[in-house]
Amino acid sequence: MSRIGKQPIEIPAGVTLTQNGQVVTAKGSKGELSFTLPDSIAGSTEDNMFSVKPVNEGDRVGKAMWGMSRTMIVNMITGVTEGFKKELQLKGVGYRAQAQGNKLTLQLGFSHDVIYEAPEGITIEAPKPTDIIVSGIDKQKVGQVAAEIRSYRKPEPYKGKGVRYVGEYVRSKEGKKK
């Protein structure tokens, strides 16, 4: 039994959750998201609660997808009401970020500037030259964009230079000794 999957999902005021076959759609103040339930999972709405259950109790695939399906729907509801954001910071001499529209220009010590174009539904801000805020309603997209930006220059263990998440601990190594 899935401990997470058993819990019903409360639908907050201002959010409409509709199910058409296996497609669950959430509409809220920030936008609209949809998720297709796996064939081994069934969803049902009662009063102001949405619940998911495996179609067959003995099905291994259904048990494996049960908690994940519930979490995806909760993330959709959170996304259309509050949204998600990831914060990154640049460490290093001369490392800078500048956001213009949906383009992010990064100076990361290369011979050229790195220009990253945000996908649709994602906003990138650079309130300070060393801070980047990635926000949107889709949790997976926000995390993917933040990971792609970080991948241009991951924090290195000797000086700690690079792009890192806010609050990320980078274990530092000791340098060579004579």
Q: What is the pLDDT of residues 121-169, one digit of tens each?
A: 999 999 999 999 999 999 999 999 999 999 999 999 999 899 999 999 9
DSSP tally for the chain: helices H, then strands E: 3, 13
Give the CA angle between residues 78, 35, 30 to the nearest 5°: 35
Q: Tell me, what's the pLDDT at 63?
A: 87
Q: How many domains does the chain have?
A: 2
**Is 68 among the domain residues?**
yes
Within a domain: residue 174? no
| pLDDT at position 1 | 63
Assigned domain for 176 exists: no
% of the chain beyond a pLDDT of 70: 99
Same domain, 44 and 89: no
Tell me which residue range forms the domain holding 76. Answer: 3-81
Cα-based distances in Å from 106 to 55, 74, 88, 115: 49, 34, 12, 6
Burial group, residue 21, by CB count within 10 angstroms (0-12, 13-18, 19+):
exposed
d(CA 2, CA 121): 32
Q: How far is CA 73 from CA 6, 29, 53, 139, 162, in A?
A: 13, 16, 13, 11, 34
Check whether 6 has a pLDDT greater than 90: no
Of 81, 103, 125, the domain-final residue: 81
Exposed, middle or buried: residue 170 (CB in 10 Å: 0-12, 13-18, 19+)?
middle
Size of the chain in residues: 178
